[in-house]
Amino acid sequence: MDAMAEAVVFFWLPLFMIALGAWVSLSSKDNMKSNIGKFISIIGLALVCASPWTVPSSPSSSIGHLIGFILGPSILLIIGIYLLVFSGNVPVGKLPTSDRKLGLFCITLSMVWFCLMQWGDLTPMYEGKEVNRFWLIFFPTLVLMICCLSSVLSISMMLIGEERHRESSIMRLISVMSMTLIICGLTIDGKNTSSELFTTYFWLSVSDLFGILVGVSLSIFIFGFVIYLYERSIGEPNSVPPPTGDELSQASEKIAQNIGGIESE
């Protein structure tokens, strides 16, 4: 089997299995089908993470290498956000208030884990020689997105939220922490990475996110503008003529047939 076929079988096919399993799990109400979908996704994820050993010659295997490294802190981060959100003032699915502290602990632990990967000995080193190039893209993008999202959520909770002052304060704290990480990345060299590399990929992430924001905004504007031009071009609808005497008589008969009846004793 040549290198291209190995990459298809041991990387791209498992990557497709993750998406297929997630689709089957989310689209089916049957517990058996849902469990089958989850099982397919787990098998695909395991094969993708094993790609550095199954297809070491393929450049795509570095993605599986990175996923294997960030899987632990990412799961902790998702669990922490879930506990933090649903232990607050939510109308459905409310968790005990004590879970908020556990959520903050999970988020803090995950961020410490990511920091050790950036500045400590846990940096994803591909084949033990060089830093995984996808990690150089992932970490600046992660902290930038956390900073932007937490800032927007904090402002939204203050403006349109009801009794959300504590949650807004937590979002502000997360925003300040992520901004601190960005400043550290721009100024402090890690054990295996440099601040110059972080600066380069950080500004690339800024440009990517700015481009996505501009593209989405333009798409919404163009869609609304097209709908406005179409609605303006069709003009006002023609007025309906008043009902004739025969139509009024038929309507009266139908009304009399349907609203009559014997009163209950």
Amino acid (one-letter) located at 166 = R
pLDDT number for residue 183: 92
Per-residue model confidence (pLDDT) at position 250: 87
- What mean pLDDT, rounded, does the chain reach? 83
H/E element holding 192? none
Q: What is the pLDDT of residue 215?
A: 92
Q: What 8-state DSSP symbol labels residue 126?
A: E
Give residues with Cβ within 8 angstroms of 209, minimum separation 6: 141, 144, 145, 148
Residue 265 has what pLDDT?
A: 44
Q: Average pLDDT, stretch 46-67? A: 81
Residues in contact with 7: Cβ distance below 8 Å, sequence separation at least 6, in sequence order: 55, 58, 60
Q: Is the pLDDT of residue 264 over 70?
A: no
State mean pLDDT over 75-99. Answer: 77
pLDDT at 132 over 80: yes
Output the CA angle 240-241-243, nearest 5 degrees: 115
Per-residue pLDDT, 260: 60
Q: What tokens does 248 get?
A: 């009024």
